[in-house]
């Protein structure tokens, strides 16, 4: 009888030990999952932080480019005076070619008289328009550089 009781106590002890081991294993898995989630959250936070830095950097660059372009446009009357506007008539052919190039489309329609003066287009207007076009080009360039930097950072950190 004592031997049977001892066997029962031993079996209960083994059962309790197995149950405890399962609980410990379950808690260990929960801890591992929580650590993995924490690490993933840190990586995502760091990625967003890096992306924010890239975006801020390229927004600052674009703002600088736009301000520089606006400054140049303000200086057009200094460099292209009213006398230069009167002395240099902008030909209609130039306006057609410039506008087609700016819109990235082929020239359409007959050329007409390409040397005829374009109505209401002064040399200073051409200078302002070209400056605006280059400003836009440089702003897009800075945006592209920012996006390339973001892609490089993502690839370097293994988040691509």
Distance CA 144, CA 140 (A): 6
Per-residue three-class SS string for 80-137: CCHHHHHHCCCEHHHHHHHHHHHHCCCCCCCCCCCCCECCCCCHHHHHHHHHHHHHHH
What pLDDT is attached to residue 48?
64
Q: Which residues pair with 91 in a beta bridge?
A: 117
Q: How many CB atoms lie within 10 A of CB 111?
A: 10
pLDDT (tens place) for every residue of the chain, 160 residues total: 878 888 888 888 888 888 888 888 888 888 888 888 888 888 777 666 666 666 677 778 888 889 999 999 999 999 999 999 888 888 888 888 888 888 889 988 777 777 777 777 889 999 999 999 999 999 999 888 888 887 887 788 775 5
């Amino acid at each position: 009888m004592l031997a049977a009781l001892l066997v029962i106590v031993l079996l209960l002890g083994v059962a309790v030990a197995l149950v405890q081991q399962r609980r410990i294993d379950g808690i260990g898995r929960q801890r591992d999952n929580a650590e993995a989630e924490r690490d993933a959250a840190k990586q995502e936070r760091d990625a967003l932080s890096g992306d924010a830095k890239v975006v801020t950097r390229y927004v600052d660059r674009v703002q600088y480019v736009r301000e520089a372009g606006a400054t140049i446009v303000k200086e057009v009357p200094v460099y292209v005076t009213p006398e230069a506007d009167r002395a240099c008539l902008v030909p209609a052919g130039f306006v057609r070619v410039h506008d087609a190039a700016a819109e990235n489309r082929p020239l359409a329609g007959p050329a007409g008289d390409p040397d005829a003066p374009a109505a209401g287009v002064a040399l200073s207007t051409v200078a302002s328009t070209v400056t605006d076009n280059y400003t836009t080009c440089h702003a897009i360039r800075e945006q592209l550089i920012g996006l390339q930097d973001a892609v490089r950072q993502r690839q370097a950190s293994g988040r691509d």
